[in-house]
Amino acid sequence: MRTIKTLQTVALAALCAFSALSAEATVSTYSDKAQFLADTGASQATAAYPTGGQGPYTAYLSGAATLSSSNPFYFGAYTSRLAGGVISIDGLEHLSVQWVLAMHSFGFDFVEPEFDPLVNAPFVDSTFSVTLRNAGVSVGTFQFNTPNDTAAFVGAWSTVAFDRVDILETTGNIENEFYGQFYAGNAMPVPEPSS
């Protein structure tokens, strides 16, 4: 009898731990960088990128994040719309960001050129899907499509912590989009008052 009770206790503890990991987050998204930084207390999480056309890479440690992609990526000063070096990915712009610590917020600078000279294929307006993961389990998702030919910002604040972000181009082509610096913070959002 004692063994059954112990196994039930262990099973219940494991179920509670899994439930905590697999809980669906409430995710607030941002396109205003100043508001995102003010609300979340996030700060720049990646170091300055190289500007000299360095690569190809499939993984790169930068500050508190490891950037990786199934397609090779490069660093360079490829756009005048974002300061310094940016990330340019061969093929569809799939990028994963693995954080050193679990975070509650992240954001990044982004450009989708339409008429800029560095568009290297027929332009297709891109849509991206973002999945927040904790220990490999999805805790939240959202989509974005930024204005073209302008420096944009994409940010999110999650009620459930995450240690990895997968950004997948779901509609688009192999024309260039550029990722700038990433920002992150671990302050948890204040819950909305219940009605």
Place of tokens 């995710």: 27
Overall number of domains in the chain: 1
Q: Render pLDDT for 157-193 as a digit per residue (tens, 0 to 9).
A: 999 999 999 999 998 877 789 999 999 999 999 766 5
Write down the pTM of the prediction. 0.84
- Strands 95-111 and 65-76, sheet pairing: antiparallel
Domain that holds residue 125: 25-185
What pLDDT is recorded for position 142?
A: 97
| pLDDT above 50: residue 10 | no
Q: Residue 1 pLDDT > 70, yes or no?
A: no
Task: Say if 192 falls within a structural domain.
Answer: no
Residue 1 in any domain: the answer is no
pLDDT score of 64 = 94
Structure tokens at 64: 């508190």
pLDDT at res. 20 = 40
pLDDT at 117 over 90: no
Residue 61 covered by a domain: yes
Within-domain flag for 134: yes
Classify residue 161: in a domain, yes or no: yes
End-to-end CA distance of the chain: 45
Instruction: Kindly state whether residue 5 falls inside one of the protein's structural domains.
Output: no
Mean pLDDT of 70-76: 94
CA 28 to chain centroid, in Å, comes to: 13
**Residue 118's pLDDT band (cuts 50, 70, 90):** low
Compute CA distances 55 → 87, 88, 155, whole Å: 10, 10, 26
Residues contacting 25, CB < 8 A, separation 6+: 132, 139, 140, 158, 159, 160, 162
Residue 128 has φ and ψ, to the nearest 5°, of -125, 145
CATH number at residue 71: 2.60.120
In a domain, 43, yes or no: yes
Q: What is the per-residue pLDDT for 84? A: 94
Nearest to 150 by CA among 64, 88, 70, 81: 81
CA neighbor of 31 nearest in space, from 140, 144, 114: 144
Instruction: Please say whether the beta carbons of 150 and 111 come within 8 A.
Output: yes
What's the confidence (pLDDT) of residue 83? 93
Smallest Cα–Cα separation from 162: which of 109, 110, 97, 108?
A: 97
pLDDT at 24: 84
Residue 151 is predicted with a pLDDT of 96
Residue 129 domain flag: yes
